[in-house]
Amino acid sequence: MKQNLFQPRRRIEKRYEDAIKGIMGLMKRKLNGVSSPFVLLKTLRGIARSPTYDRLARQAAEAMATHLFTDGARSWREAALKGSKGRLIYTALRRELKGNATYWDIVERNADLIKTMPLNFAKKATKMMAENAMTGERSESKIEDIMRLWPHYTKAHARLIARTETSKAQTALTRTRSEEIGVRWYVWKTERDARVRKSHRKMDGVIVQWGDPPSPEELVHEKSYGHYDAGDIFNCRCYPRPLLNYDDVSWPHKVYYGGRIQTMTLYRFKALNGGGSL
């Protein structure tokens, strides 16, 4: 199989980040000229309840999910041409046209995340106002300090949401499609650059079973963030490459099984699958 067939397209992440920044830019216009922190808080809460803001958030979320959905479908179709599960893959992709619950879960989650941004900033502003009150300063004198945080806040949160959620969404769609055709295993893949965290470098190339993910941090004796699949944690650029055929990897190979990474022969790995095909 082509090694980077299921690798996320970063252009989708970047488009999503730009869309969120665009929404935040429109919101900023409504805050221009606000001279009181109390008016600022009222305005932010009003924006969060606005039908227009709700619509923009949903549009951005749907665009991201749709790009991932269609891009992933192309990857699966290409995989179908080269593997033994071609007919199953084509049948599953046709069935998706009738609706995909994972897709709509992604849209709802991301729309909600975008809609919480003005409320989260309101909480930050409230904290600053409380700190000012303790020092005897008037809240009105700090409105400029509060608004100076806006560009940094929106840029940082837009990047975090885009990177984390596009990665999580891709993993969710890959998992759903794998389950549809009975693919139980995937290969954990990283970007293989200096930015890959130590715990994920440990997982690079390791075969993992859907439904039995590792805690990468525990494996390298770091603080655990729980058990999760490739790409399913904050700021993660890893991705799962479904294992469709035994010869997609070389043997012996590293496999996460029984709570640890162990090197298995093809014979032993086949035994985990009842001795039959994947």
Residue-level pLDDT at 83: 63
> What secondary structure letter does DSSP report for 235?
T
CA 159 and chain centroid, separation? 11
CA 130 and chain centroid, separation? 34
Residues 6+ apart with CB under 8 A from 153: 121, 124
Arithmetic mean of pLDDT, 58-86: 84
Domain boundaries, the chain: 1-183, 184-278
Q: What confidence tens digit (pLDDT) does each residue in 262-272 have?
A: 999 999 999 99
Q: What confidence tens digit (pLDDT) does each residue in 82-122 have?
A: 666 667 776 776 666 446 788 899 999 999 999 999 999 88
Q: What confidence tens digit (pLDDT) does each residue in 195-222 have?
A: 999 999 999 999 999 999 999 999 999 9
Asked whether the predicted pLDDT for residue 66 surpasses 80, the reply is yes
269 class by beta-carbon count within 10 Å (0-12 exposed, 13-18 middle, 19+ buried): buried
Q: What confidence tens digit (pLDDT) does each residue in 131-179 have?
A: 766 665 555 567 778 888 888 888 999 999 999 999 999 999 999 999 9
Query: Taking a C-beta distance cutoff of 8 angstroms, is the pair 187, 243 a contact?
Result: yes
State in Å, rounded, how far the first CA of the chain is from the last one.
14
CA 142 and chain centroid, separation? 36
Q: What confidence tens digit (pLDDT) does each residue in 11-29 have?
A: 999 999 999 999 999 888 8
Measured CA to CA, the distance from residue 223 to residue 253 in angstroms comes to: 27
Query: Taking a C-beta distance cutoff of 8 angstroms, is the pair 232, 203 a contact?
Result: no
Q: Are strands 239-242 and 185-189 parallel, antiparallel or unpaired?
A: antiparallel
- Identify the sign of the CA torsion 26, 18, 156, 220: positive
Three-class DSSP category at 230: coil
Residue-level pLDDT at 186: 97
- Residue from 69, 185, 195, 45 nearest 125 by CA: 45
Q: Using 50, 70 and 90 to split pLDDT, how confident is the model at 275?
A: confident
Which residues, listed in sequence order, are joined to residue 254 by a DSSP beta bridge? 263
Q: What rounded mean pLDDT belongs to the chain? A: 88
Neighbours of 46 (CB within 10 A): 12
* 203 compared with 7, residue with greater pLDDT: 203
